[in-house]
Amino acid sequence: MAAIEPNWVSLIWFAACATICMIAFLVVAGMFPLRSRPERARSGTATLLVAGNGVLLPALMVSTGFYGYAELKWSSLIIVTGLVVLFAPGLFEAWPPSFRDGPAGLILLVGIQILAIVSLAKVAGPPWAATS
């Protein structure tokens, strides 16, 4: 494994955060345009949750991208990103429809994204400080 990617722990963190990014993107993309949302996600609270997810998603994507750029080899970064883009829609389809199309899934997604951003900042804190 060291010949392919010497920093395999970072590879696992990157793959997990990239998977969260892709699933969050699919959920948020399904909520736009706002007038065509599923019936369960048309309340004012759900609109706030969609907006919250819309703010958290770019933050998670950028932080995951910087982490992968700082920690991984280019080949590993490209291959893992491709695998995530290929297989994450299958994980999205495995979610129950209430999580994909309702406020419960949006609340869960906000929590997962916040947890991913905080854990990524905790894991990647020192390398990001060195790159600035």
pLDDT at 64: 95
In a domain, 49, yes or no: yes
In a domain, 45, yes or no: yes
In a domain, 3, yes or no: no
Name residue, tokens 């599923």. Answer: 38
pLDDT at 117: 93
Handedness of CA 127, 58, 73, 10 (dihedral sign): positive
| Stronger pLDDT, 37 or 1, i.e. the higher one | 37
In a domain, 132, yes or no: no
> Is 2:9 a contact under the CB 8 Å cutoff?
no
In a domain, 57, yes or no: yes
Structural domains of the chain, count: 1
Write the pLDDT tens digit of every residue in 64-120.
Answer: 999 999 889 999 999 999 999 999 999 888 888 877 777 888 899 999 999 999 999
